[in-house]
Structure 1
């Protein structure tokens, strides 16, 4: 279909596409008086007539000042600006302003960069982001997935500030529903089923035992080194990536301790205990354990609230502590929760209804 001139905005044209989408373009005269056309974008990308008109005004103002419109300059040079390019610039800028963005950068590098980092930022679609969201939801809690997409959104916002893109595609991606009222955890029978399924894979076996007996997250276990384990005092120093600090966990399972000692004897101080090859250990563990959990517990389960994911192992650790009557403040300490409200979700599992406390009053 031919371009149709806007009735409201000078130099703005729209073209109805076969899929009923609308593309917007502008025309203007360059410094030599030559007429030029520029495609601004599509309605499905968030482009509107007023945006196209403002873009035209930007072009004409630049030309009036003897400058070339930046969008045209980029088009001529045919530069490909990757998502990683923009992310690196964004994090460097934050560092200059003394903002503590180390955790944010680590989250981006761990979750976003492997999937989208090398793509032209202009080519990343809503569908690409939804695919990433689904992939992460298969191994992480909804709240964590939302945080990952939020980190990606921050990078897109920086690109908008730099006039690289016009619209943040994450704005069209619906957040996952976060429900902390019910947390899926494994029963003791299910724990035994899981351990039986992975007992012949030492790496997976060690990971599961560490997760179930320390509550450590997958990233923390992947970074665990010989330096972090005090076999004499049966203590493990676990990295809490959310708070960028280490906290104390306890080593009590004999077989786990024996296997870790054997591995530690063959490792240098700073080599991850579970590292077996040159593959990305975090991704390797996540993929391996997620496949096992899906096979054992998630067949036919579509509700994310009822699915077993890697983070379920952390909930299992905390839930069984509560079931065994562990005081909520001790559970908070063992999980390294900064906010007690994060731990209170487990209080409902405590066997102490309060009856014994009332009876001890003696009135």
Structure 2
């Protein structure tokens, strides 16, 4: 039975085994949560696992993150990396009993991290990781209590400057790659990124079977979805010959690229070296009259919101401000 209490909360009051069996009482903030718990408790009883699950959950944060990793996290592309972050956070919290965690505990943790110089973006990522753990475990019935951090808002971050290279800067960096870089792959990986808008890791992971006349297919993407991008005949020939000789582009080519940028003397916005060629492709694509929806598909953005960061570079961006303002067609002045 589910009933509303005078306090406004909703109480589940059931005896899954029938009259004379163990009685279960638990209250929730919403009727939906109460109904979900009732269904879960009855299912657990039918499976013969009711009693252990209805005891107070004494598992620590580390124990729950391990449960999350084994049941869900290890199947994510960045699951191992997330798990490492989660273990470090659990230890920083003092590895408390997870069911006793509160929103305030996280806010104190975030404040201390901020004092140590952790960026707002990193703090928001950490909050996202914790929310994902509790939400997934609650969704699957592994825990019966709510995510304690569900109502915490991420830190508002001012949109940072989106840098891109001018043509003369592109020439300067590629001259460094061509003439003074010993890494045999960095020049071509940089060219692939610049000509197709690929992330550096996507360009670096290209294999011969993903290169067709005249397109490349990226399958090691951030979203996990494949995408194909047309390429010129000249680039197709260069990639094909290189991979036939070397097999792969190797790894750590980004270090060679960073050194080439440093030698060129070009100053890039902080933290954008690895993405500068991708931003440059997108920026010049829009400045040359490209379509924003086509750009979204080329870059592989799941949301147009991400791609709209480049919209202001279009030649006709917001021209209607001149032609459609209140006095544009009137002899007002």
TM-score (norm 1): 0.50
Structure 1 counterpart of 2:209, from 222, 227, 245: 227
Q: 1:193 aligns with which of 172, 177, 201?
A: 172
Does 2:129 correspond to 1:151? yes
The 3 A distance-change label for structure 1 pair 218 and 178 is farther
Deviation (angstroms), 1:253: 7.1
Cα distance in 2 for residues equivalent to 1:294 and 1:84: 42
Q: In the TM superposition, what is the alpha-carbon distance from 1:162 to its structure 2 partner?
A: 5.5
CA–CA distance in structure 2, aligned partners of residues 329 and 228 of structure 1: 24
2: distance between equivalents of 1:167 and 1:90?
20
1:145, 1:83 → 2: CA distance? Answer: 18
Q: Please say if residues 190 and 200 of structure 2, whose CA atoms lie closer than 8 Å, have aligned partners that are also in contact.
A: no
Tell me: CA distance 1:156–1:202, structure 2 relative to 1, closer, same or farther (3 Å).
Answer: farther
RMSD: 4.8
Contact 2:217 / 2:226 at 8 angstroms: preserved in 1? yes
Q: Does 1:244 align with 2:224?
A: yes
Instruction: Quickly say closer, same or farther: Cα 1:132–1:124, change in 2 above 3 A.
Output: farther
124 and 158 in structure 1: CA distance in 2 versus 1, 3 angstrom threshold: farther
- SS at structure 1 position matched to 2:272: coil
Query: Residue 320 of structure 1 aligns with which residue?
Result: 284
**How many residues matched?**
244
- Residues 254 and 81 of structure 1, relative CA distance in 2, 3 Å threshold: same
Contact 2:215 2:236 in 1 (8 A): no
CA contact (8 A) 2:164 2:279 kept: yes
Unaligned runs of 5+ in 2: 1-51, 94-108, 324-333
Matched residue SS, 2:229 = strand
Corresponding position: 1:216 with 2:198: yes
Task: Write the distance in 2 (CA, Å) between the matches of 1:298 and 1:334.
Answer: 27
Instruction: Report the secondary structure of 1:326's partner residue.
Output: coil
SS across alignment from 2:310 = helix
Which deviates the most, 219-228 or 290-299? 290-299
Cα deviation, residue 68, structure 1: 10
Question: 1:21 matched to which residue of 2?
Answer: none
The residue correspondences of 1:169-318 to structure 2 (distance < 5 A) are 175=155, 177-179=157-159, 182-199=161-178, 200=181, 201-230=183-212, 233-239=213-219, 241-252=221-232, 254=234, 257-267=237-247, 273-275=248-250, 281=251, 284-285=252-253, 289=257, 296-298=265-267, 308-318=272-282
> Which runs of 5 or more structure 1 residues have no equivalent in the other structure?
1-64, 93-101, 268-272, 276-280, 359-363
> Can you list the C-alpha shifts for 1:110-147, whole angstroms capped at 9, x where unaligned?
x435x547x4663136589778965xx9xxxx6x9955
Q: For the structure 1 residues 333 and 116, does the alpha-carbon distance in structure 2 shift closer, same or farther, using more than 3 Å as the test?
A: closer
Whole-angstrom CA distance in 2 between matches of 1:259 and 1:319: 24
Give the Å deviation of 1:316. Answer: 0.9
Q: Does 1:335 align with 2:317?
A: no
